[in-house]
Structure formats: structure tokens, C-alpha cells
Amino acid sequence: MIKKLRVILEDSVRRNVSESLLLSGGLDTSILALILKDLGVRFLPVSVFLEGKGKDLEYVTQLSKILKIDPIIVNVKIEEAESAIPQVIKILKSFDPAIPNDLVVYFGMKRLKEEKVTSVITGDGADELFAGYEYMKKIKDLEGYIERISKNLFFNSDPIGEAFGIIVKRPYVDEMVKTYAKEIPKSMKIRKGWGKWILRKAYEKFLPKALIFQDKRPLEIGSGMTFLRDYLASKIEDKEFEEKKRLYGMKFYGKDHLYYFEIYKSIFKEIPQAKIGEIICPNCKGGKKSNHCRICGYVEVL
């Protein structure tokens, strides 16, 4: 099963060859970089960090030495990150509190545009299909859950890439990979406390243990972009935050979430009503198709 996964994933990379790779330094993109290198593909790796912060920088550095690649390191100043928030909100039509993740992708795509790159590979989908998220360890019917979510996978890298005229390619959600991933039992995806266990085992002979058995980190944490949250929160007084929560009648996950909402409100004026086939989000009252609202980021536990 492990060997077959390698064959299927490597075939998928061949079908999704691109000029570049958004390289976070995490397990998923490290594996993609390894495969691209083994296939002899020339590609431009790009990694984004907030002012040189974030643990992923050490992994990108280590991987670069092993594979003999020379990634572009984009160091974003905190003021630059703040200035880009309205554009990201405009692209995504969202004030989801996960915007720091999207800023990493935004600045990666921006740099690729400057390099005249027209396509990029991302590691999107590996966590969803191979049980990379911590909450998945608690799901009893994991196979059924992955089957359901695999039918409606959506990644913000698509609209961000489109905004820059860049085609996004995803080897992990290629149909053959997706089909095989759904056949893999929970016991092969989660083992000894590790998510994505089968992915780790498939490539443990080809990359150092420190890279293969690294913790799962949200993109914003690995890139250091998470430090933006406190920076934005410092701009809103406690009293103002409490008053505006009552004014807007909405749950905000933090002051930075309120900050995003007010930018969203200034751009779009109001939250669109639910369309046919959508359900009303109990938080922002907009329309949503799943337990996660793409407008406000509210997640209902199913």
C-alpha cells in the first residue's frame, strides 16, 4: 500500500508539472519538492515569511541543502502584510479569521507574478485526504468523513492565483490520488499519534527523520504570519471591541477578526443573503454550503 501510494503520487506530479512550487517547508510540500527533483523537473520554489519569523524557515533551509535547490525567500514586513489585507479580503470575499494563512499564499503568488511565472504547485489537499489535522484523530468514522468532504474541497489558493493570472496545480487532489486516498483505512493514516502516517512512511527513506516526522503547523504559524494577529489587536481597545460585538451582533474570534470584518464591510457594504441550496450561517447570516462559512469563518461542530 505504501509503495503504491508513492507510484500514484509521483504519477500525479508528472501530470501536474508546473514552473514553480509554493514551498512551506512542511511535510506535504517537502515531498512534492523531492518528487519534482527526482523527476528532473526545473521549478522555482518560493517560501514566504513574516520578517524572517516562523519555524518553517529552518525546514526550508534544511530541505534546500538536501535537494540542492535555491528557493526565493520572500520576507514580508508587518506593515506590508497589513496593507495587503484589504486586497485579500476583496479577492476572497471573506473576513475569515484564517486570513493570515491566505496572506502567505498572496505574497507567494505576488512574487511569482513578478517572476513571470504562470503556474504553481501547492500542497493543498494532503491534510484533508490523509488526515493531517489534529481534530481528525477524534473522528470515529474517519473514512466516511473524508468521503464527504472530498466531494466539496475548496482552496483559497484558487481565487488568489486567479487574481494574479496563475494556474494552481494540486497533485494531492488529482483524481487518482483522491480515489486511492479514500481506500486507505484510518489505521494507515493515523498511527502512533501521527496524522498522515502513510505519507510519512512512504518517504521516510528519502528525507531526514526531522523533516518527515515534523508536527503539523498551520501555514500562518510556520511562516510567522500569526504575529500579525497581536499587531492588529493592538489597534483596537477592549472597550471598542466589546461595543462592536454588541453593535454587529456577531461572534468574533478575536480583535483581528473584527478588524477584517470592518474592512470587508467597507468593501462590500453588506453580507450577501443565502442563495438556493445554501443554508444560513448562524453567525454572519450569510449563505454557506457546509459546516464552515467561507464568509465569516464560523464553524459548526457536526
Q: What is the pLDDT of residues 45-57, one digit of tens each?
A: 999 999 989 999 9
For residue 283, tell me if it sits in a domain. Answer: no
Residue 70 burial by CB count (10 A; 0-12/13-18/19+): exposed, middle or buried?
exposed
Q: What pLDDT, on a 0 to 100 scale, did the predictor assign at position 252?
A: 96
Q: How far apart are CA 28 and CA 33, in angstroms?
A: 9
Tell me the residue range of the domain where 139 lies. Answer: 2-222
For range 105-109, the mean pLDDT: 98
Position 31 pLDDT exceeds 80: yes
287: β partners: 280
For residue 288, tell me if it sits in a domain. Answer: no
Mean pLDDT (the chain) is 95
Q: What pLDDT, on a 0 to 100 scale, did the predictor assign at position 52?
A: 87
100 pLDDT band, cuts 50/70/90, is very high
For residue 213, tell me if it sits in a domain. Answer: yes
For residue 262, tell me if it sits in a domain. Answer: no
- Please tell me the total count of domains within the chain: 1
Q: What pLDDT, on a 0 to 100 scale, did the predictor assign at position 301?
A: 57
Q: What is the pLDDT of residues 186-216, one digit of tens each?
A: 999 999 999 999 999 999 999 999 999 999 9
Q: What is the pLDDT of residues 240-270, one digit of tens each?
A: 999 999 999 999 999 999 999 999 999 999 9
Q: How far apart are CA 94 and CA 76, in angstroms?
A: 22
For residue 271, tell me if it sits in a domain. Answer: no
For residue 229, tell me if it sits in a domain. Answer: no
For residue 20, tell me if it sits in a domain. Answer: yes
For range 126-150, the mean pLDDT: 92
For residue 227, tell me if it sits in a domain. Answer: no
Q: How far apart are CA 171 and CA 183, in angstroms?
A: 17
Domain CATH for 144: 3.40.50.620
Q: How far apart are CA 264 and CA 262, in angstroms?
A: 5
